[in-house]
Amino acid sequence: MKQMLIGGRWLAARDGRTLPVVSPSDGEAFDEIPRGGAHEVGEAVAAARAALAGPWGRLSATERGRILVKIGEAVLAHEEELAQIEARDTGKPMGTARNDIKVLARYFEFYGTAADKVHGETIPFLAGHQVSLLREPLGVTAHIIPWNYPAQMMGRTIAPALAMGNATVLKPAEDTSLSALRVAEIATAAGLPDGVLNIVTGLGEEAGAALAAHPGIDFISFTGSNEVGTLVQQAAAKNAVKCVLELGGKSPQIVFDDVDMARAVPIIVRAIVQNAGQTCTAGSRLLVQRSAYDRVVGRVAEAFAQVRVGTPAMDLDCGPVMNPAQHRRVQRYIDEARAAGIPVLAEGSIAAGAPPTGFYVKPTFFGPVPRSAALACEEVFGPVLAAMPFEDEADAIALANGTDYGLLAAVWTENAGRLQRVAKAVKAGQVFMNCYGAGGGVELPFGGTKRSGHGREKGLLALEEVSSTKTLVHFHG
């Protein structure tokens, strides 16, 4: 049975309650985590506050950065072990899990080396005055993350907060807490002082809700569903706490008739199939100019039919979805689209030997999907691709912007002017031109517009989210 980390101590829940850890690959429970709640959250917030008053609060930015770089190195030294933990916990292929651990290490390297490059400013003001702008940590930062990329999400949200000198409380998803707990152990061994990173495991509606509502936190970063994001923002509002919300997406791949197909097709398929479609930035809508629709969709269907789903050890294109609820949800979207008569263009296959008790879904490519259909507007969070034709540039932009979401988009055309025009007109936090970046790019500021959320993670902009400015005005005569 695992324990959680609070103030440098590994603890069970005070009332001894636990949650099972279930493998999505075979549906079997193989471990337990503590079911923490309001009490443990209170202890963790207090431990983080105490850490700010201790040695951590007095470290220079260079010293903080060095600790983070060491954590990144230690993560890489444990790459295989962490990848095994992650693959078992999430069901994802081993190759994907190894890549996720490399990205986790990269977050610590990127923000560790950035820690002492955040400079203040001086501001011209009245005669006889000197004005400087300091950038300071916010204090105790809270972080709630989902189950799709647990290790990457931990690095993405925790590393910038630590780089700026905050002390953190992390609530991992109840389905996937194991990598965070092991990384915390590795970080402690690499020199992170006690109480700087606290991890409370437990259910969202218990530990998560208690963390979001805790009056002792100074900031909250939430990545997950729109429904819970709204609850978190409401809780943050009651304490006037700033929050960053990274929510869902329905990202369009906008393909014009002059697309370089050899380049585009494998990337388009991978962008929806990777991580079994459980990627907020999954390219789940394939919008194709009508004049090239049959040609493009035909080629994508050929590639899509080759997609294979299996266990982590099989290391195929993707694994199962996360849990029975997600399995039901994705399967319902597929069944309802079929029942509505939306044509199936291609299906992937589930490898023989994948345990029947696992949560496997057959990747499915539908098209043409009516613009008002659920598959055209709603986030499935599974390996389901919806193709739709458009007429011209204006129609492409209207269709691309026609959902509540605005997280990512891609434009595919050999016409440079059109590439720029469409990329600028699409509402999204990131737009890829003749490429697609689902999941990657530690350096690249990332986040939503519209209902995909607000605030930015990744890149140097993340450091601004987890810090505040103080304006010093000095009259020297």
Query: Is 205 tagged catalytic?
Result: no
Task: Give the binding range for ligand NAD (CB under 6 A) out of 66-74, 125-133, 146-154, 264-272.
Answer: 146-154
Q: Which of residues 364-383 bind ligand NAD (CB under 6 A)?
A: 379, 381
Tokens 């060491």, residue?
70
Q: Which of 246, 379, 457, 465 is catalytic?
A: 246
- Closest approach, Cβ 193 to ligand NAD, in A, equals 25
What is the spatial distance between Cα 448 and Cα 438, in angstroms, rounded to a whole number? Answer: 14
Q: Among residues 146, 195, 320, 406, which is the contact residue for ligand NAD, using CB under 6 A? A: 146
Which residue number, 261 or 374, has a Cβ lying nearer to ligand NAD? 374
Return the structure tokens found at 463.
């450091």
Site membership for ligand NAD, residue 173 (CB under 6 A): yes
Report the nearest approach of ligand NAD to the CB of residue 81 (Å).
23
- 142: nearest Cα among 62, 63, 235, 59: 235
- The two tokens of residue 348 are 């992937």
Position among 64, 88, 171, 285 found at the interface with ligand NAD (CB under 6 A): 171
- Shortest approach of ligand NAD to residue 334 CB, angstroms? 18
**Is 289 or 403 the residue whose CB approaches ligand NAD more closely?**
403
List the x/- string, 401-440, binding to ligand NAD by CB under 6 A: ------x---------------------------------
Instruction: Name which of 65 and 277 has its Cβ closer to ligand NAD.
Output: 277
Q: Which of 294, 273, 292 is nearest to 282 (CA)?
A: 273
Q: Give the binding range for ligand NAD (CB under 6 A) out of 54-62, 122-130, 140-148, 327-335.
A: 140-148
Is 22 among the residues that bind ligand NAD (CB under 6 A)?
no
Give the number of other CB atoms < 10 A from CB of residue 325: 11
Nearer to ligand NAD by C-beta: 112 or 229? 229
Structure tokens at 284: 């789940």
For ligand NAD, which residue has the nearest CB? Answer: 204
Scanning residues 247 to 306, which ones bind ligand NAD (CB under 6 A)? 247-249, 280
| Edge-first strand listing for the sheet containing 219-223 | 9-11, 4-6, 197-199, 167-171, 140-144, 219-223, 242-246, 453-454
Residue with token string 């950035």: 114
| In the complex, minimum distance from the CB of residue 297 to ligand NAD, in angstroms, rounded to a whole number | 25
Stretch that binds ligand NAD, among 126-134, 166-174, 300-308, 342-350 (CB under 6 A): 166-174
- Pick the closer one to ligand NAD by CB: 18 or 291: 18
Site for ligand NAD in 186-215 (CB under 6 A): 204-205, 208-209, 212
Q: Report the chain's terminal Cα–Cα distance, integer Å.
A: 65
Q: Which of residues 216-245 bind ligand NAD (CB under 6 A)?
A: 223-225, 228, 231-232
Let me know if 414 is a catalytic residue: no
Active-site hit among 40, 206, 280, 465: 280
Q: Which of residues 24-83 bind ligand NAD (CB under 6 A)?
A: none
Nearer to ligand NAD, 140 or 301 (CB): 140
Cα(402)–Cα(390) distance, rounded to whole angstroms? 12
Is residue 39 within 8 A of residue 6, CB to CB? The reply is no
**Residues near ligand NAD (CB under 6 A):** 144-148, 171, 173-174, 204-205, 208-209, 212, 223-225, 228, 231-232, 246-249, 280, 379, 381, 407, 448, 453
Catalytic residues: 246, 280
